[in-house]
Copies of this chain bind each other. A is one copy, B any other.
Amino acid sequence: MTTDTTERLRIVTRSAGAGELFQLLRDGRPRTRTELATLTGHARSTITSRLEALLASGLIAPVGEASSTGGRPSTSFAFNPTSRVVLAVDLGATHARLGVTDLAGEVLASSEDRLDIADGPERVLAWVAETGRRLIAEAGRDVADLMCVGAGLPGPVEHSTGQPINPPIMPGWDGVDVPGMLTAHLGVPAFVDNDVNLMALGEHRHAWPDVADLLVVKVATGIGAGLILDGSLRRGAQGAAGDIGHINPDNELTTPCRCGNTGCLEAVAGGGALAAELREQGVEAETSTDVVALARAGNLPARHAVRSAGRLIGTVLASCVSMVNPSLIVIGGVLSESGDHLIAGIREVVYQRSLPLATQHLRIVTSRTGASAGILGASMLAVDEMLSVDAVDALAG
């Protein structure tokens, strides 16, 4: 049976239960029983019994409204995003951002800490759980309000299991059941994805909800992209879609990469590569942040290095534009904060190398959600899973 057939059957055979009624209300607009009956084509009695299940779950709350006809006031019902909270986790190679959000992605409390992912899953995830509990209290909520955890990891994650697969910068994490460990710590379901996928999800939903086809690129120590086509994140067969950091932009380049190959984009245009290049020219630079600070301060070798990196990234993105034809490329990650030098190099090559049809409406811009994209996306990943039609059907019995 093809996917399309499965989808058709799914649509037809699923009579509008509590889960579907909830999806209708998830946009936050209050609606009356009568409006819901009209929208769904179901009897008011059916709507009433399904609303009762949703009210009991706390996901829906009544919103009182006076009746205009002077009769019994007709109550409206709306999504109640503050009923539960989500722990959103964005782990990098050397930092961690955590946030507690409501079910609509509103950040109630957040933190940013240095953290070495190479400390391994036991230590890192115990710390995440402890910090998460502290943030929940800081947001004035109880741990019992926690509905789920969403977490991004800085490496390839197998989508079906949430396990890191051969992650180059995460020693000790290969094949580890990260969702299971988070659930063991916090007692709620946990959902794990690649950090760049979650950054793309956060940026898309918060800043560009009406753009259906876009590429969100992270340029930091590592380089990766999240691919949104026809309005949804596309992860590919193993969840590795968007892993552009190991494409070779120029056969002449032979710099060894931590992945074992040579000439990878990340090895020649990532923050570490740029810092090394500057040191060779006698400029003090250790990290991506150092490179950004130098470029912003007007250091010419740094500006030149960032611009050149932009051109190499542009070469790879030109191929991506030909392949997936996005209407928007969003550049994020710490190196995107170095003024316009990175994006100028990217634009230069993308507009030169791609076909007119693919670039005539293509915009290339800097991220709007910036450093918070990751936790916004992690929250959304978890909420989407927990509030899916089937999940709410189960929840509302």
Q: Which of A1-54 contact B (CB under 8 A)?
A: 1-5, 7-9, 11-13, 15-16, 20-21, 23-24, 26-27, 39-41
The one of B13, B354, B389 that contacts A39, using a Cβ cutoff of 8 Å? B13
User: Does A357 lie within 8 Å of B166, measured CB to CB?
Assistant: yes
Q: Which of A124-176 contact B (CB under 8 A)?
A: 156, 158, 165-166
Chain B residues whose CB sits within 8 angstroms of the CB of A325 once the complex forms: 235-243
Q: How far is the CB of A101 from chain B (nearest CB, A)?
A: 17
Chain B residues whose CB sits within 8 angstroms of the CB of A304 once the complex forms: none
The one of B166, B225, B357 that contacts A156, using a Cβ cutoff of 8 Å? B357
Residue of B nearest to A318 (CB): B247
Q: How far is the CB of A250 from chain B (nearest CB, A)?
A: 5
Chain B residues whose CB sits within 8 angstroms of the CB of A250 once the complex forms: 251
Chain B residues whose CB sits within 8 angstroms of the CB of A205 once the complex forms: 2
User: Does A227 lie within 8 Å of B156, measured CB to CB?
Assistant: no
In Å, the complex CA distance between A69 and B250 comes to: 74
The one of B11, B165, B389 that contacts A20, using a Cβ cutoff of 8 Å? B11
Interface centre among A8, A213, A229, A353 (most CB of B within 10 A): A229
With A9-B24, A246-B355, A355-B246 as contacts: A234 and B241 at CB distance below 8 Å: no
Q: How far is the CB of A154 from chain B (nearest CB, A)?
A: 14
Q: How far is the CB of A104 from chain B (nearest CB, A)?
A: 12
Q: Which of A307-321 contact B (CB under 8 A)?
A: 315-316, 318-320
Tell me if A397 is interfacial: C-beta within 8 Å of chain B. Answer: no
In Å, the complex CA distance between A24 and B1 comes to: 12
Tell me if A281 is interfacial: C-beta within 8 Å of chain B. Answer: no
In Å, the complex CA distance between A356 and B156 comes to: 10
User: Does B319 lie within 8 Å of A238, measured CB to CB?
Assistant: no
Q: Which of A173-229 contact B (CB under 8 A)?
A: 205, 209-210, 212-213, 225, 227, 229
Chain B residues whose CB sits within 8 angstroms of the CB of A5 once the complex forms: 26-27
User: Does B259 lie within 8 Å of A237, measured CB to CB?
Assistant: no
Q: How far is the CB of A377 from chain B (nearest CB, A)?
A: 14
Chain B residues whose CB sits within 8 angstroms of the CB of A7 once the complex forms: 231
Q: How far is the CB of A391 from chain B (nearest CB, A)?
A: 14
User: Does A251 lie within 8 Å of B251, measured CB to CB?
Assistant: yes
Chain B residues whose CB sits within 8 angstroms of the CB of A320 once the complex forms: 319, 323
Chain B residues whose CB sits within 8 angstroms of the CB of A289 once the complex forms: none
User: Does A40 lie within 8 Å of B12, measured CB to CB?
Assistant: yes
Tell me if A261 is interfacial: C-beta within 8 Å of chain B. Answer: yes
Interface centre among A12, A205, A316 (most CB of B within 10 A): A12
Q: How far is the CB of A3 from chain B (nearest CB, A)?
A: 3
User: Does B212 lie within 8 Å of A323, measured CB to CB?
Assistant: no
Q: Which of A278-326 contact B (CB under 8 A)?
A: 315-316, 318-320, 322-326
With A234-B234, A319-B247 as contacts: A324 and B227 at CB distance below 8 Å: yes
Q: How far is the CB of A30 from chain B (nearest CB, A)?
A: 16
The one of B24, B212, B355 that contacts A12, using a Cβ cutoff of 8 Å? B24
Residue of B nearest to A231 (CB): B3
Chain B residues whose CB sits within 8 angstroms of the CB of A158 once the complex forms: 357
Tell me if A338 is interfacial: C-beta within 8 Å of chain B. Answer: no
With A12-B39, A40-B12, A165-B357 as contacts: A236 and B326 at CB distance below 8 Å: yes
User: Does B231 lie within 8 Å of A2, measured CB to CB?
Assistant: yes
Tell me if A252 is interfacial: C-beta within 8 Å of chain B. Answer: yes
Residue of B nearest to A228 (CB): B3
Q: How far is the CB of A171 from chain B (nearest CB, A)?
A: 16
Tell me if A230 is interfacial: C-beta within 8 Å of chain B. Answer: yes
Smallest CB-CB A-B distances: 8 pairs: A236-B325, A3-B231, A15-B41, A237-B327, A8-B23, A2-B209, A241-B325, A240-B325
Beyond A5-B27, A12-B16, A213-B236, 13 additional contacts (C-beta under 8 Å) are A2-B205, A2-B209, A3-B231, A11-B23, A227-B324, A234-B234, A239-B357, A241-B325, A244-B319, A246-B322, A246-B354, A246-B355, A261-B353
